[in-house]
A and B are shown apart, each in its own frame.
Chain A
Amino acid sequence: DAKTTQPPSMDCAEGRAANLPCNHSTISGNEYVYWYRQIHSQGPQYIIHGLKNNETNEMASLIITEDRKSSTLILPHATLRDTAVYYCIVRPDYGQNFVFGPGTRLSVLP
């Protein structure tokens, strides 16, 4: 699986957009980009995933660069409940397991 690099921590003001970057320069053509988050030591929660195109769902948007070497998770209107550790993971669709690195600790500030 390709390795990912994320900043260890970020702050965001409540109501503003939170943009969380992820570098995955060694990603292969068949590897997807997944985002999970973990709120206060609960089990991780799936957010979104994508291969090449940008994706949007009710939680977030995922922007993947054209060369696929980096991506950005966007929470359009961050709330205090979005304070969590966010994990960027790349793996093939057929892969069995997810490799969770240390992630980015996002703090949403009032």
Chain B
Amino acid sequence: NAGVTQTPKFQVLKTGQSMTLQCAQDMNHNSMYWYRQDPGMGLRLIYYSASEGTTDKGEVPNGYNVSRLNKREFSLRLESAAPSQTSVYFCASKADISISYEQYFGPGTRLTVT
């Protein structure tokens, strides 16, 4: 099993450009999450999806949109990138809201917006 995979690993964008970060998990998990981590900071939740077909805002959703394409895939879209969105983005998944305590994290996408 690959666990949680993210693409791309690195990306540089110009201000105003758009892009989609991809995340996939092969553990048959119901819940999936997108976090961002700024230098020297902890992780902040952007959006999450409790199950296929549902998405909800986290702590810092402004400037982002998400799509839970199917049970495996959860994408994060930046419609008009801004320098403040320069960060490392982590995707995570969890088996179920009620029976699993552990979130599994992907390796991250390092995004720079100039």
Contact residues of A with B, CB < 8 Å?
32, 34, 41-46, 49, 87, 93-94, 96-103
Smallest Cβ-Cβ distance to B107: which chain A residue: A43
- Would A43 and B108 count as touching, CB distance under 8 A? yes
What separation, in Å, do the CA atoms of A79 and B107 have in the docked complex? Answer: 22
What separation, in Å, do the CA atoms of A100 and B105 have in the docked complex? Answer: 13
What separation, in Å, do the CA atoms of A101 and B59 have in the docked complex? Answer: 13
- Would B106 and A43 count as touching, CB distance under 8 A? yes
Interface members, chain B 71-101 (any A CB < 8 Å): 88, 90, 92, 97-98, 101
- Would B97 and A96 count as touching, CB distance under 8 A? yes
Q: List 9 A-B contacts (CB under 8 A).
A: A43-B4, A43-B108, A45-B105, A93-B98, A93-B101, A98-B43, A99-B59, A100-B35, A100-B37
